[in-house]
Amino acid sequence: MVSEELLLRLNDSEYKNWLKAGRCLLILKSGLHPFTSQHMRCFHKDLLTHSPLLGRPCETNACRGNKLSWACRACSEWKTAILAHQRQPNRTVHWENCSPPSWRTDFWEVAKAYMPGGQGKVKGADQCDASALLNLINSCDCFQTVDPKFVREVIQYRNELMHSCELRIKDEWIRRYQKTLKHFVRQFSHVPQMAKVGQEIDEMLTVDLSLSVSGLDQLDSVDSDGLVCDSEATVDLISQWEAELLQEKLQELLHTDNEDADTRDTEQLKMLGGFLQANRDLGERFSAELQAIDSLQARK
Ligand SMILES: [Zn+2]
């Protein structure tokens, strides 16, 4: 059984565009995981080989990313090394992402210094979203083989997509997006895990999700239990991507690392809350998040 609301959403071409574009980011992420992980591992090893001072353990075991002005000599050495390998010298470093005593032994703790904020609890590439991995590639000079122009373009598309209040995307946007993704992926032709990514992205952007549900053009005859679908597994899968994307968007909007409520995008939260409420199936799935949105709005 497929919920009527999901069928209506899959019958809305601009919402489908939003869903498909978001799905492409998840595909991209799956290819970038092993690539970024492997590169950071080598980068970390190189740093240790070339600067023996970095091999010394933290002197206090209490150095913290958010209080680096008090760091011991070993952690200060790491801080200098991390800054020396920035691709964008003026970028703000989110030191609070990192646990400095682990820099010596954990390459991902080093990677997190090159990422946007909110990565404190993340332990590896597989737990990162596409945005975090793209920012890492854009910010650390061990990824110099990747042209930053295309990385930034993909980041910009990703932000437009995730910050779209309406969750709807025009066909023209999709065409430009597809072109940019193509340019980006082409740079990884030597990376085995990325070989499939370009193909999967093209397939995703050309597939018509509504065709995978039978009886879509006969919505008038839907019985009260919903439709019987000839490919329930496909619909389940689509519904799973949708939930994953909405989860990412909700997390970003509700993100509480930053206690400053003024920086929160209340307009977007309001629209997203309204959307979840209007779609009963999603409202039930994200009931906890809806409550969080309500209580934030009540505080205003
Ligand atoms: Zn230290």
Distance 77 CA to ligand 1 centre (A): 9
Output the CA–CA distances (angstroms, integers) from residue 128 to 34, 114, 134, 150, 185, in the order listed: 12, 13, 10, 20, 19
| Inter-CA distances, 15 with 11, 105, 158, 277, Å | 8, 44, 16, 16
Q: Tell me the pLDDT of the chain averaged across its residues.
A: 87
Ligand 1 midpoint to CA 61 (Å): 6
Does 262 score more than 70 pLDDT? no
The CA-based diameter of the chain, rounded to the nearest angstrom, is 73
For 134-170, write each residue's pLDDT tens digit.
Answer: 999 999 999 999 999 999 999 999 999 988 888 999 9
The secondary structure of residue 71, as a DSSP letter, is -
**pLDDT at site 224:** 39
Closest to 159 in 3D by CA, of 66, 252, 236, 275: 252
Q: Which residues hold their Cβ within 5 A of ligand 1, which is an ion?
A: 58, 63, 72, 75
The alpha carbon of 238 is separated from its chain's Cα centroid by a whole number of angstroms, namely: 18
Q: How close is the Cα of 64 to the center of ligand 1, in Å? A: 8
Q: Assess whether pLDDT exceeds 60 at residue 216.
A: no
What's the CA-to-centroid distance between 113 and ligand 1, angstroms?
Answer: 15
Structural Rg of the chain based on CA atoms: 22
Ligand 1 centroid to residue 257 C-alpha, Å: 23
- Give the distance (Å) from ligand 1 centre to CA of residue 230: 59
pTM, rounded to two decimals: 0.86
Residues 6+ apart with CB under 8 A from 10: 16, 209, 210, 213, 216, 238
